[in-house]
Amino acid sequence: MGSNSEEAQPHRPRRAKHQPEPPVPAPAAGKKKAPPERRRRRRRIALFSLAAITVLVIAAVAVAGTYLHQLSSTFNENRNVIDELDLQDDTAYRTPEGTINILLLGTDSRGDVESEYRSRIGEEGERSDTMMFVHIPADRSEVYVMSIMRDLWVEVPGEGMGRVNSALSAGGYELAVDMVEELLYTHIDHVAVIDFEGFAGLTEALGGVYVDNPRSFSAGQRNPDFYPEGTIRLEGSNALRFVRERKSFPMGDYVRVQNQQLVVRAIVERFLSGDTLTNPQRVMSVVEEIVPYLEVDSALDAETIAGYAMDMHQLRGSDIHMFTIPTGEHTVTSGGAQVILPDEELMALLQRSLKNDNLSGFLEHYERLDGEMLDDSFTGEETDAPESDEDDPESLLDGTAPENVQPDDLEQLDESAEGTP
What are 289-336's pLDDT values in tens digits? 888 888 999 999 988 988 888 888 888 888 999 999 999 998 888 778
Q: Of residues 93 and 2, which shows the higher confidence score?
A: 93
Mean pLDDT of the chain: 75
pLDDT of the residue at 408:
38
Q: What is the mean pLDDT of residues 106-134?
A: 59
Residue 419: is its pLDDT beyond 80?
Answer: no
164-178, 236-250, 397-411: which has the minimum mean pLDDT?
397-411
Task: State the pLDDT confidence band at 31, using cuts at 50, 70 and 90.
Answer: low
Residue 252: is its pLDDT beyond 90?
Answer: no
Residue count of the chain, please give it.
Answer: 421
In angstroms, what CA-CA distances link 15 with 11, 19, 94, 152, 171? 12, 9, 66, 83, 79
Q: Of residues 28 and 186, which shows the higher confidence score?
A: 186
Residue 155: is its pLDDT beyond 80?
Answer: yes
Q: How far apart are CA 15 and CA 356, in angstroms?
A: 64
Cross-strand partners of 105: 131, 193
pLDDT of the residue at 298:
92
Set out the domains of the chain in order of their start, with CATH numbers: 77-342 (3.40.630.190)
What's this model's pTM, rounded to 2 decimal places?
0.71
Residue 113: is its pLDDT beyond 50?
Answer: no
* End-to-end Cα separation, the chain, in angstroms: 97
Angle at 208 between CA 205 and CA 214, to 5 degrees: 145
Residue 163: is its pLDDT beyond 60?
Answer: yes
Q: Of residues 146 and 396, which shows the higher confidence score?
A: 146
Q: Of residues 352 and 289, which shows the higher confidence score?
A: 352
pLDDT of the residue at 145:
93
Task: State the pLDDT confidence band at 169, using cuts at 50, 70 and 90.
Answer: confident
